[in-house]
Amino acid sequence: MNELEHSGQPLVSVIIPTYNYGKFVLSAIDSVKKQDYPNIEIIVIDDGSTDNTPQLLADLPKIVYVRQENQGLSSARNHGVHLAKGKYLQFLDADDLLHPTSIHKRVTFLEHEPCKSAVICRSVFFHNPALTNIPLIRFQEWCQPESDSIDLALYFFNIAPPHAFLIRKSVVDKFSLKFDTSLCACEDYDFWFRLAQVSGAPGLVKSCWVYYRQHANSMSRSYKNQYQHDAELCKRIYASVKATEPWIGNHPRFDYLFAMLAASLITARRLWFFDRESFNVFMQEHIFPLLQEIKKEKYKSTTNSTTLVFISRARLTLLKMRNNDKSLDQPIYNSIICIFPKTPTYLTLVIKKGVKHISIKNLARLAKFDLQFIYLRLINKIAMFHQSVRLGSI
């Protein structure tokens, strides 16, 4: 144990997997070295790079540099966890950056919240491939869940990128958690969900940032591959819930089911455009069984505004699938829409039922989805009217 640990500053292990990212990796390392938190070890796992990465890192001081045969991102992260000596784990992809205060503020949170196994902070995207320093301009922000609904958000989609998380290594060790090497995308979301299943939803610190670089080689830019993996995660989460209830949090079962449905319908719609065969399989093997589960529950009046956002979003996606894409025929649409609360707008439910602690963000989302739903229904009715007029004139 070093002097800093004796002084109450636990060691943080920063794990940086890299593969042919020589043009970015030094910037990632530099963002770690600029942290205002001093007790950090940097572990770089080179996953068989064929560019100049070995020359850049082999003799770089104050890092642990390990080179392995190319086995994929998950394997590299798992290798880093195995080598880590810190109390906390910080994952950082080689093309991303940390804000100088991000580690310190999240360590402080976890030190004061011993019941939490992980904490996330805010994340923003940036797009300049030549950028080597912390971005001065904040671009689009990763959609952050409400602090009291992080568990619900975990059933919807990935709540944050890898470097937004700080994790207790003791929990990872206790439950032998590893990144799934069979996944070529969404492996981080899969890991966060399994971590939350065994130790609860992560905490949230809104006063610090991490930066997520988007560029032509980003894994998430391969849309077909990404959407196929999104579908796999939807199925995995539903299967794990069926096998290991109770749920991660304490919301009603209905709330979690609709969070899953909202994500599943969005994923189904994306598959329709990129992979019709996968769409059909996904509908049969996942969406329809999930709908049957929701029908068993029937609608229960919810006091959670985030759940109403999921319900509203799911209804809007369903209408787009029927009217815009024609991916659903009318009988299937009718069989699904009947499970939704029967009201023109979900914003009205909020006003009538007096949902407590609703954020301005959720109010705005409800208003947006409601207006889009009303507009699409109106357009559809006008189109049907014109069609009936044409048929009548023949």
Q: Is the pTM of this model over 0.75?
A: yes
For 116-126, what is each residue's pLDDT tens digit? Answer: 999 999 999 88
Q: How far apart are CA 65 and CA 68, in angstroms?
A: 10
Q: 3-state SS string over 299-363?
A: CCCCCCHHHHHHHHHHHHHHHHHHHHHCCCCHHHHHHHHCCCCCCCCHHHHHHHHCCCCCCHHHH
> Mean pLDDT over all residues of the chain?
87
Q: How far apart are CA 25 and CA 132, in angstroms?
A: 10
Number of Cβ within a 10 Å radius of residue 60: 13
| Peptide bond connecting 341 to the previous residue in cis, omega within 30 degrees of 0 | no
pLDDT of the residue at 136: 47
pLDDT of the residue at 3: 42
Residue 38 corresponds to which tokens in the numbers above?
């001093």
pLDDT band, residue 220 (cuts 50/70/90) = low
pLDDT of the residue at 226: 87
Nearest alpha-carbon partner for 258 in 304, 226, 223, 219: 304
Q: What percentage of residues in the chain have a pLDDT greater than 90?
A: 63
Q: How far apart are CA 223 and CA 229, in angstroms?
A: 10
For 299-341, what is each residue's pLDDT tens digit? Answer: 666 667 888 899 999 999 999 999 999 999 999 999 899 888 8
Helix, strand, coil tally for the chain in percent (to 5): 55, 10, 35
Extract the runs of DSSP E, i.e. beta strands, from the chain: 12-18, 40-46, 64-67, 88-91, 97-98, 118-126, 165-168, 203-213
Residue 31 corresponds to which tokens in the numbers above?
């963002």
Q: How far apart are CA 149 and CA 307, in angstroms?
A: 9
The half-sphere exposure of 87 on its side-chain side, counting CA atoms within 13 A, is 17
pLDDT band, residue 218 (cuts 50/70/90) = low
Task: State how far the alpha carbon of 321 is from the alpha carbons of 48, 175, 268, 269, in Å.
Answer: 43, 41, 9, 7
pLDDT band, residue 187 (cuts 50/70/90) = very high
Residue 266 corresponds to which tokens in the numbers above?
């969005």
SS3 for 210? strand
Nearest alpha-carbon partner for 91 in 1, 212, 203: 212
**In the block, residue with structure tokens 């319900």:** 311
For 9-58, what is each residue's pLDDT tens digit? Answer: 999 999 999 999 999 999 999 999 999 999 999 999 999 999 999 999 98
Q: How far apart are CA 45 and CA 151, in angstroms?
A: 31
| End-to-end C-alpha distance for the chain, whole angstroms | 88
pLDDT of the residue at 25: 95
Q: Which residues pair with 65 in a beta bridge?
A: 44
Say yes or no to pLDDT of 235 above 60. yes
Query: b/e for 213-230, b at 16 or more Cβ within 10 A?
Result: bbeeeeeeeeeebbbbbb
Q: How far apart are CA 226 and CA 220, in angstroms?
A: 6
For 79-109, what is each residue's pLDDT tens digit? Answer: 999 999 999 999 999 999 999 999 999 999 9
Number of Cβ within a 10 Å radius of residue 187: 21
Fold classification of 3-220 is: Spore Coat Polysaccharide Biosynthesis Protein SpsA; Chain A (3.90.550)
Say yes or no to pLDDT of 1 above 80. no
Residue 331 corresponds to which tokens in the numbers above?
């009988």
Nearest alpha-carbon partner for 15 in 167, 140, 146, 149: 167
pLDDT band, residue 278 (cuts 50/70/90) = very high
Q: How far apart are CA 186 and CA 157, in angstroms?
A: 10
Query: b/e for 308-334, b at 16 or more Cβ within 10 A?
Result: bbbbbbbbbbbbbbbeeeebbeeebbe
pLDDT of the residue at 367: 87
List the chain domain ranges. 3-220, 223-393
Nearest alpha-carbon partner for 193 in 225, 157, 227: 157
Q: How far apart are CA 358 and CA 361, in angstroms?
A: 8
For 139-154, what is each residue's pLDDT tens digit? Answer: 688 888 888 889 999 9
Say yes or no to pLDDT of 4 above 80. no
Nearest alpha-carbon partner for 16 in 33, 27, 24, 28: 28
